Amino acid sequence: MTHSSASSRVDNIRKSLVGLKMPRALEMLDATLRRIEQGQIDGIEAIDDLLAEELSLRENRRIKAALRMARLPTLKTLAGYDFSFQPSLDRNRVMALAGLDFISRAEVVHLLGPPGTGKSHLATALAVEAVRAGKSVYFIPLADLVAILAKAEREGALREKIRFLCRCSLLVVDEIGYLPVTPGGGNLFFQLVNARYEKGAMILTSNRGFAEWGEVFGDPVVATALLDRLLHHAVVIQIEGSSYRMRQHADLVPENMRSITTVGPQPTPKRRGRPPLKAHADHSYG
């Protein structure tokens, strides 16, 4: 092949890469051609390298866009969680959740514990893992969720909003129990939970035990109905320990508050008509 014909071929490759919208491959083309000329790689390796670079760029863009759509408050990873600070937490059990089998089984993961023990960190980190695996995710604090459902109800669009919130593979509802639920909010949340029941996975974080949910939602009947569905196919992870955020200022916390470090085991409401399925039991995560 003459120099002019080779140059023409390269020009055609550049035009093709532009037409195919492959900017990373176009950026790497000249360096890849030099490596071929120097005998460092052959043609097959060159094609493989260019496609790998382009695929990596597109995957990073996809993840970035999906994380933005998930509305995560911040990016957290499981590698960034200090398991040594919370010895009560079984690291292997949490890492098993990162396999995301609970999503395919439409299960609910409950992360319970006092403030500062890393519940939101773990929920966010699992959400990030789901996004990287190509799952659609939506993250929202309970107070915000109830507010948007109430607004949709006032506008006559509640069904559409619930349908939208059922589209994602994983719905993360954060901070249950931190703020009082507005009147009627428990019923709205129940409608969403009922719509996702056995169809879509959820992660819930709460600083309140299940026995307190009647107080949290302002209606024991609604709370029992919620728990009936949320505990049917569930993984409950209890974090018992001190606040990670307050670890450097523990001596400033009043003595009477230091003892409030755990959300004790809570009784599970009686279920009617929905006996637990052994295949979905919590012990599946070891």
Same domain, residue pair 134 and 46: no
pLDDT per residue as tens digits for the range 158-210:
999 999 999 999 999 999 999 989 999 999 999 999 999 999 999 999 999 99
Tokens 């055609």 locate to 12
Longest CA pairwise span in the chain (Å): 86
Q: Does residue 246 or residue 186 have the better pLDDT?
A: 186
Q: What is the pLDDT of residue 247?
A: 52
Question: Residue 192: which of 237, 123, 138, 155 has the closest Cα?
Answer: 138
Give the H or E element holding residue 202.
strand 201-206
Domain containing residue 54: 3-69
pLDDT tens across 228-239, in order? 999 999 999 999
Of 17-31, 189-203, 259-273, give the lowest mean pLDDT range.
259-273
Enumerate long-range contacts of 256-263, CB under 8 Å, 24 or more apart: 260/114, 261/114, 262/113, 262/114, 262/238, 263/112, 263/113, 263/114, 263/206, 263/207, 263/208, 263/209, 263/238
Q: How far apart are alpha carbons 23 and 15 in whole angstroms?
A: 11
Quick check: 244 pLDDT over 90?
Answer: no
Same domain, 160 and 196: yes
Same domain flag for 49 and 118: no
| Arithmetic mean of pLDDT, 262-270 | 43
| One domain, residues 193 and 236 | yes
Q: Are residues 241 and 277 in the same domain?
A: yes
101 shares a domain with 88: yes
* Cα gap 238→112, rounded to integer Å: 5
Identify whether residues 179 and 221 lie together within a single domain: yes
> Is 133 strand, coil or helix?
coil
Instruction: Label residues 177-209 b or e (16+ Cβ within 10 Å = b).
Output: beeebeeebbbbbbbbbeebbeebbbbbbbbbb
Element at 172 (helix H, strand E): strand 170-176
pLDDT for 5 equals 78
Residue with tokens 């609604």: 222
**In this structure, what CATH number is given to the domain that contains residue 263?**
3.40.50.300
93 with 161, same domain: the answer is: yes
